[in-house]
Amino acid sequence: MHMHRLEKLWMFIGGGTLLFFLIVLGIGAFIQGAQPPSCLTVIDPQRVEAHDPFKEENLGLQEVEGGDLDYVVNVVASAFNYDFGKDEEGNVVRKIRIPAGSKVMFQGTTKDVVHGFQVAGTNANMMLEPGYINQVEVTLDNPGVYTIVCNEYCGTGHQFMTAQVEVYEE
């Protein structure tokens, strides 16, 4: 097969550019210490409540004493609902209130199918899979009400699976 000299030149330029971008991306990931998520924490999805972070009294917003984090939010996703526990009157919590400037770790799992967990307007985004605990840390600086949405199709009531995070000025 005969290739014109300009075709060979453009193939060389295109291949070289692709190789250059892949090397830059690889070096950048190595220097920043980027690693793929590793599902190290495995739990029994049928007995989620048996694990400390997901016991009824530990769900929702927990203040952290010392360390880098200010708060931990434990959540269990199931059947078109995010479970943050219950308030003092026994009502289901659908809204979490957090002071502006707080560093928060969202920690979640699910009992049934794969769910998404995204705090819209922030970089908090994770996939909740049965049998695994996933975590994401975010600093919430801007006051406002943020919607938590499921961004993985989980069934016929998927569009109703929402909750809220209210970031308030102290």
Beta strands at 162-168 and 144-149: parallel, antiparallel or unpaired: antiparallel
In whole angstroms, how far apart are CA 108 and each of 92, 132, 165?
17, 8, 15
- Lowest-pLDDT choice from 62-66, 77-81, 130-134: 62-66
Provide the pLDDT for residue 14. Answer: 96
Provide the pLDDT for residue 51. Answer: 86
Whether the predicted model's global pTM rises above the 0.85 cut:
no
Beta bridge partners of 127: 116
Name which residue leads in pLDDT, 90 or 9.
9
Residue 66 and residue 49: Cα distance in Å, rounded? 26
Chain segment 7-66, per-residue pLDDT in tens: 999 999 999 999 999 999 888 888 877 666 665 678 888 888 888 888 888 888 888 887
Q: Considering the domain 45-168, what is its CATH architecture?
A: Sandwich (2.60)
Give me the chain's average pLDDT, please. 89
